[in-house]
Every structure is written in structure tokens, then in C-alpha cells.
Structure 1
Amino acid sequence: MAPGAPARIMGRVRYAAIGDSFTEGVGDEDADGVPHGWADRVAAGLAGAAGEPVRYANLAVRGKLLADVVSEQLEAALALDPAPTLITLNGGGNDMLRPRTDLARLGELTAHAVRRCAEAGVRLVLLSGADPSARLPLGRMVNRRGSALTAMARTLADEHGLTLVDVFGDTEIRRPGYWAPDRLHLATPGHVRAAGLVLDALGARGALPAAGAAGDVARGVSAELTYYRTHVLPWVGRRLRGRSSGDGRPPKYPAWTTLPADGSEIGERRER
């Protein structure tokens, strides 16, 4: 079977997730403000599907550019002891929001990650992030760049026999009800759906209940003004100051944590 072919994960799984806010889980916070997200849910789903504990690390940090993900997080993931058996990589979303984006360079960085994982004998799964462009300022630019990044990832996946989970191309998840109020990050329903897409690709979909359809969100002039004041202006302010939302923020699970075979998530175990 080709390395990228969907197949049920067998044997002991050590899963490391790397990326930006999408993989950190921003938008899917618990009552204490701790983000969970699709990667946490995938780890729990793999444990439930395998019927045995899964080791899990999440080195993703919000605001990071793809160069940070590949040069820092990937190397940290590969240095874990014992080594991961599975890594998911998503990045480039923050690069797309910059005025100037070198798409060819983003392709080179992703290709480097593919080579490093192949050298280490670690299975790499590529993800394209969900498409937020329909309701964002400069949304057409974001859509154009996201489409190009997804196409480059698909080419790499085809060339190297990797799995690509195309969340960007999922039309259902573009509905407003799947998104957080900032319209840039997925809300809990969106993270649940993204986790299902990943588990589908890994042949372990039955480990996660199907997400119910998200309702649409009504918008008006007042809502638009609140949105720009609450989310857009602070983002612009950080860009002008050369700051990032992830500055000084450590990854949430930089070392292995063990999820039990019952498929419960980290947050669920903390609340018991």
C-alpha cells in the first residue's frame, strides 16, 4: 500500500502536530480559555480507533509563519524521544495575510519538510487550512493565495505518496456557523469537522461522531462595525508594531502526553 493511502492506523501511535493557530486550536477554547482544536480531537480519535493509548504532542503556536513552523517546530518534533510515527503539517495562513508573500518560497519550505520527514522515516500528513476568505477584508487575495498553496501541497503529496487533507476545498466548512467571531479561526463545530476530515483520510473516521450542520450567522451594519473594532483594528495595530499574537507564547504540549484508549480528549480528562 502506498505511504499516503488512507488506512487504519495500526500499532503504537506517536502523533506530533505542527503549525499555527489553526493547529493550536484557536477558536475552540474551553471554559478556562484553553484551546483544543482539530489536532487534539484527531489524537483522541486515533486512540479510540486503535483501542490503545496514543502519545501526542502539539507544538503549534498562533501567529507563526511557515518558516517558523518548518525551521523550529518540525525540528523539535523530530527531536522528540521516542521519535514520532506521524506528523501533521499545516502552515502559510499567516504568510497569506502579509502584503507581500513569496509563494514559491512557501512551496520550497513545504518540500523541505517533506524531505526531512522522509529522511527520519516519519509519516507526514499535509493539511490545507480552511478557507476564511468569503467574509474577510481582502478576501479575494486570501482565496487566490490559499488556492495556490493548496495546489502546491497537492503536487508534493502526489509526487511523494503523501496524504493531503484538503480542508481549504471543503465547501461545507465555509459556512459562517463553523467560524469564530473573528472570521479567521474556526469555532468548535469547524474544528470538529476538520478533525473528521483528517480521521477520514487516516481511515479512522468512526472514532469521531459526525459533526452536526452548523447554522448560519446573521450579520448587519452593527455587527460589521463591532467586528472591525474588535478584530480587524487590533490585528492592524499588531502588524504596524511588528508584533504577533504568538510572541512569547510556548506550545501547549511540547513533550509527549498520553491519551487513553477510551478516546477521551485532554480537556475531558482535566474536567473529570
Structure 2
Amino acid sequence: MTQTSQRDTELAEGAARHPWHRYVALGDSFTEGIGDPDPDSPGGHRGWADRLAEELSRTQDDFAYANLAIRGRLLQQIVDEQLEPALALAPDLVSISAGGNDLLRPGSDPDALAVKLDTAVGQLADSGATVLLFNGPDIGSTPVLAAIRGKVAIYNENLRTVAARHDAIIADMWSLRQLSDPRMWASDRLHFSPLGHHTIAIMALEALNVAHDLSPMEPAAAPGRSWRTARAEDLVWAREYFVPWVIRRIRHKSSGDGLSAKRPTAEPVFGAGVPLGSGDAVAASDAELRQGLE
């Protein structure tokens, strides 16, 4: 390799690097990765946060990632249960997505929710970490969720104020028009599919201005369905997903009751395409990381 080509390679690698070494994700089922099943991932789900961490780890040898999100959590629960553990891990990058489950409940107030979130984001920002703040997607064409579109829009505008107050970065789900494709959604129509999580990970990386190796997928238009086929699918969905969800709301139960975080400690990310070192090197790295957390 010539000196010129070597210098060009070094410059390209430098441009691809980012400043973060420890990433912690806070939230509910969206951040836990529900809808993107993967038996090889902690908790059995991958999701956009895992995909994001995998890309961030490519250019940082000492990169570590924790995911404290638990499905079904309300905003106040996320603040009460996840904020202090997140700060204790001393991250330099934190993502938080909260409030979606609150907005689904009758009588919820998007203004009051934003006040609660503002306090949490302030604490995270004061720690010195970069805060990645997710707003809500435009769910106007989504069954069930369409009823709260107005609340989501109000909440999103409040989040822009929160982000401006604390110099947080907005991961703009509302503007991600690709999410209107039905294939971006899981079969329960409440969570994102693997393709949806993949698309959101790309958006988050671009919001952070991080170069990545993910290729945008542009699926062909979904084939038309007959009325009879669509009706049959609706009945299956209602029986398997919507009715149990309504029953949980009536009984004041959460799908996350009894569950713990999928990645409660910050650890190296070994995703697809991330090279593994020798056994001794991995063990030494893990020992150093754990010593730093003690």
C-alpha cells in the first residue's frame, strides 16, 4: 500500500469513528426490541437499539452497551426504575423513548408527560452524556394507534422543546415516512417488524451523524388483498393481540410484569460482522470492564 492510499484509508477510518464508548438504552417494548425476534439476542429480541449498538461498536474497540428497557413500562416507571441504574453505568451516550404506553391510556395528558420527561432528560444531560431522544411515529394509518395520533403530535412538539432545552438529539420517527409501509410493522400491529427496527436503526445512526454499513431496504409495494383475506387477518389479529391487550388494561396488568432488563450491564457488543478476539483477549477485556464498573 502506498503512503497516499494508506493516508486515505486512515482518514476514512477517522471519519467513520464516533466519540462514544458506552451506550445505555432506556425505554419500553420499542427499545427492548419487541417485534424483532432473535433467539441469539439477550431476552430473545434484537431491535433497533441492538442494531444501533452493533454499528457503533465497529469503530470503537472498547465500546460497551446496556439495554435497560422493559416492555409495558409507563414513563414514570421508566424514570423510577431505569434512570439511576443508567447513570450508575456512566454512559457517554443515552437513548430514551418513553410515553407511548401512557398516551394509549384514556385521559393521558401529553403536556404533563413532557414535563416528566424534561426532568429525566435534564438529569441525563447534566451527567455529560449525549442524549438521543425519540419522538413518536405518525400512526395515522395504523389500526388502534390511529386514535391517539393527535396526542402523539402534541407530545412530539413538546419533545422538541425538551431537546432544545438540554441540547439533546431528536431521532425523528414522525418524519420517517418509510414506517407507513405495512411490512415495517409486526403482526400485532403495535410493534415494529425486523425491517421496521432496521429502518429505525439507520435513522438513529444518521441522527447521530455516524457512518454505517446498513443498507436501506426499499420493499416493493405490498400486493393488494381481497376483502375476505383482509377480514380474516383482522379477526386473527383481534383474537391474538387486541383482546388480550384490552384485558390487561382492564386488570391494570402490563406485558412486562415480572421481567427484568435484557442487558442490565454495559458489555461489549458482538453482533453480526463484529470480529471476535481470542478467548484470552475477550476474557481480559471483560475483566477490565467489570473492574471499571465496580
The TM-score, its normalising length taken from structure 1, stands at 0.86
Corresponding position: 1:180 with 2:195? no
* Match among 216, 229, 243 for residue 239 of structure 2: 229
Q: Which moved more, 1:206-215 or 1:240-249?
A: 206-215
- Match for residue 20 of structure 1? 28
Moved over 6 A (4+): none
Deviation at 1:265, TM superposition (A): 10
- Counterpart residue number, 1:42: 52
- 2:135 paired with 1:128: yes
Larger mean Cα displacement after TM superposition, 66-75 or 217-226: 217-226
1:92 to 99, 107, 119: 99
Give the alignment of 1:57-76 within 5 angstroms. Answer: 57-76=66-85
Question: Pick from 21, 41, 56: which aligns with 2:65?
Answer: 56
Sequence identity percentage: 38
CA distance in 1, matches of 2:131, 2:50: 17
Bigger Rg, which one: 2
The 8 Å contact of residues 27 and 188 in structure 1, kept in 2 or not, is answered as yes
Task: Measure the CA separation in 2 of the matches of 1:214 and 1:190.
Answer: 15
> Larger relative CO (CA 8 A, sep 6+): 1 or 2?
1
Structure 2: 5+ residue stretches without partners: 1-14, 277-294
What aligned pairs does 1:59-208 form with structure 2 within 5 A after superposition?
A: 59-80=68-89, 83-137=90-144, 139=146, 141-208=147-214
Q: Give how far 1:161 is off.
A: 2.4
Q: Which residue of 2 aligns with 1:244?
A: 254
- Cα distance in 2 for partners of 1:254, 1:265 equals 23
Q: Please, what TM-score do these two structures have when normalized by structure 2?
A: 0.80
Q: Which runs of 5+ in 1 are unaligned?
A: 1-6, 267-272
Contact persistence 1:52–1:260 (CA under 8 A): no
Partners in 2 of 1:257 and 1:187 — Cα distance? 25
Amino acid at match of 2:21: V
Larger displacement relative to structure 2 (149-158 or 29-38): 29-38
SS of equivalent residue, structure 1 residue 164: strand
Question: Residues 214-253 of structure 1, C-alpha deviation per residue, up to 9 Å, x if partnerless?
Answer: 6537461111111111111000111111100000110100
Q: For 2:265, what is the secondary structure of its paired residue?
A: strand
Q: How many residues align?
A: 256
